[in-house]
Structure 1
């Protein structure tokens, strides 16, 4: 016994006698109702409790610094090397898109019947059904395949040539011309030199004796000096008009509908509505303001068409309306208004009245046994929207010396890019109004300077 009146137990058992004394004390403590002394922990148990194997069994894992060092030094560089080697050897094509199944079921898979706009009793006298929908045509604008390989799309565009016999020698009256429509919302931004390039491209490439460009707006643009110059120079080929949506909707299923007030800050929803209403009332061609025309559109005009969005074969958004053509009171547009009237209101900032609407209409037409409108291949007006190896270079960056066009096809005047631009019909710039065309870039050299030169030449001829 020690001086405290109790027996001091050793920390570790070192002999048989010590072990005997501990067991005796432990037994005494268990038998006593007034005292308790916990049994000592054997040395073996302590060692096992703190061993690595015991820790892992409890779910606690520790990564040694040496392991981390080996992963960073060997594994990560190996993975990067394999990926780079794979990119060099293979051409990956990856595109992810997520669509709600409910939306697909309601907006895509569900087909409502046509409204009967193609019934002979309902077709307008201004629309020649046999000529427009079922008549013989001189050109073919649908290739029947995606045209993703190389320059196939550009080469196919080059096969579409106009009929020289249709060219008119005498200027036509303003209302007898092919009407081209475009739209600018003056409450979003003023009309300036950047927007003027679309006008320049039109007057430099289209036949000003048989066509007329109408710039529509939601306000008066008559005070703009740039536009005043074009009004003076092309009095029969250019006009400014203000959009009156309720009046344009008269006689359609949207007449008096609250949907006519739909608009958004991007002018997407109201712009998509206006293009359909204008073509319904006047017929002709719609061209988005953010486009540059590169060639006379006359060879395309025997067809009614929209354009392909891009070359990626978007399942639910295959069509684009940046360039489109329909005749006055076209039954296609009549059916489009019917789809708009019975569908959910368009989402703000969406293409519900654009790409989605055209797709829904196309599916209803073929389900109803009606030949659908044509679909121009992507490069005809949107060559920027395709793969890296065959899309047009970025219009807003300096010429890339390492790109496909500069390395093998030639980006200089008379090169491969120049030849491609002469085959297609336009370049859609996708609302990038805040960007300027770099001086000396391909847009500046192969398009803008040529527009100016052509307009100067025409002005000289007019003065003579």
Structure 2
């Protein structure tokens, strides 16, 4: 057989012919067999193939909506009737949790004897006995438990009426950023609440700002009327930071459009330099804070026990040169810079500090229960009524307790220490609403009676 010559086998010719015939027939889609059964029948119409096994008949859809949907709805309603659902959803970045929450870095040496200021008595302020207990040891989510616990803290009668120089009184600090909004009648209510509820012989309110507020006519009246109990001051952050770990740091220039970051920084620096109490401007005080002042404290954010951000600084108290604040400044210097419009120097900072104090076996600062100053932040059945909703829409308060004078809400407001309103400056108080009747009018009445004495 010559090179290139070979015998064509019959099998080759047969395969070639078969291939040509198949290539002339258009491919058909393969039927999808159902699980556990033979391939479903196919029906061809106008050159298309339809799988009749997967068609949903209209009668089936109608039967579902007619029977299954009503039954499901009834079961859900029955479940809500028999059981009380508790659903709380929160989403946290895992990377953030691993980086910012889980590590417990050792404290600095702020509590060591050679670092503590001579004006701060650790034995008395940290380890000494206290007259009142401000932590219940329970979440107090049920009913009026939290408010009733606030009522167990009794004010002590004052025995001395000797004149106390302004700088030696308990300093109450608050802050208003004049570049964000002017100081007006709405902001004045916090000032009125202070003078109507606190002991003016032993306390002084200092309104701090980043600008000069002295020309304001509203504030001028208080400067004239209460020269020893009221003062206006301008914040100098670099000066306040001298002697701390933040001295000269670029962190001191941090601020945001909501005054959260710089506000959180200022409250710590003011308490470090002067000691006393910090009160957010968007608060209304309802009772003398004197029985709380033997403690250093922050407040619980709300009754939901936020696992990573449980603490709030809207109402807080620390003494001058407190080692708690010294440790807070240390944490600020070794942590990532705060994010804008965040509570990194607020709730997150307090929580980091609290955990590190425990790890070092140092008694931490106290945490006031949520309702002491933030009763608006809890469940629908036991939080304070919406301050910006008319009474006729709010209806009865918790457990049918009324909103009228002498009613359940009125009695509760006399037990707690304040109402935090969370920056809702643009919302007006309803005319003759519970805020106006049970708080604002009484502030004016008390101030008028004090003026007449």
Contact 2:382–2:398 (CA under 8 A) maintained in structure 1: no
Contact 1:310–1:382 (CA under 8 A) maintained in structure 2: yes
Alignment coverage as a number of residue pairs: 423
Q: What is residue 142 of structure 1 aligned with on the other side?
A: 135
Secondary structure in 1 matching 2:350: helix
How many Å apart are 1:149 and its aligned residue?
1.3
One of 348, 354, 362 as aligned partner of 2:340: 348
How many Å apart are 1:38 and its aligned residue?
7.1
One of 289, 312, 320 as aligned partner of 1:328: 320
Secondary structure in 2 matching 1:423: coil
Map residues 105-144 of structure 1 onto 2, 5 A cutoff: 105-144=98-137
Distance 1:405 1:413 in 2: 13
Map residues 279-290 of structure 1 onto 2, 5 A cutoff: 279-290=271-282
Contact 2:272–2:325 (CA under 8 A) maintained in structure 1: yes
Distance 1:262 1:97 in 2: 28
Confirm or deny that 1:204 pairs with 2:196.
yes
Q: What is residue 241 of structure 1 aligned with on the other side?
A: 233
Q: 1:334-365, CA deviations, whole angstroms, 9 ceiling, x for partnerless residues? A: 00000000000001111000000000000000
Map residues 35-114 of structure 1 onto 2, 5 A cutoff: 48-50=42-44, 55=51, 61-114=54-107
Confirm or deny that 1:436 pairs with 2:428.
yes
Contact 1:174–1:237 (CA under 8 A) maintained in structure 2: yes
User: CA 1:330–1:37 in 2, change beyond 3 Å: closer, same or farther?
Assistant: closer
Secondary structure in 1 matching 2:391: coil
Mind listing any 5+ residue stretches in structure 1 that lack a counterpart? Answer: 1-29, 42-46
User: CA 1:399–1:50 in 2, change beyond 3 Å: closer, same or farther?
Assistant: farther
Secondary structure in 2 matching 1:435: coil
**How big is the alpha-carbon RMSD for the aligned residues of Structure 1 and Structure 2?**
2.6
Q: 1:198-254, CA deviations, whole angstroms, 9 ceiling, x for partnerless residues? A: 011100000111110000001111111111111111111011111000000000000
Confirm or deny that 1:302 pairs with 2:298.
no
Confirm or deny that 1:291 pairs with 2:287.
no
How many Å apart are 1:70 and its aligned residue?
3.5
Distance 1:386 1:38 in 2: 73
Distance 1:37 1:267 in 2: 77
Distance 2:390 2:190 in 1: 21
Contact 2:173–2:205 (CA under 8 A) maintained in structure 1: yes
* Larger radius of gyration between Structure 1 and Structure 2: 1
Q: 1:425-450, CA deviations, whole angstroms, 9 ceiling, x for partnerless residues? A: 00000111110110111111111111
TM norm structure 2: 0.88
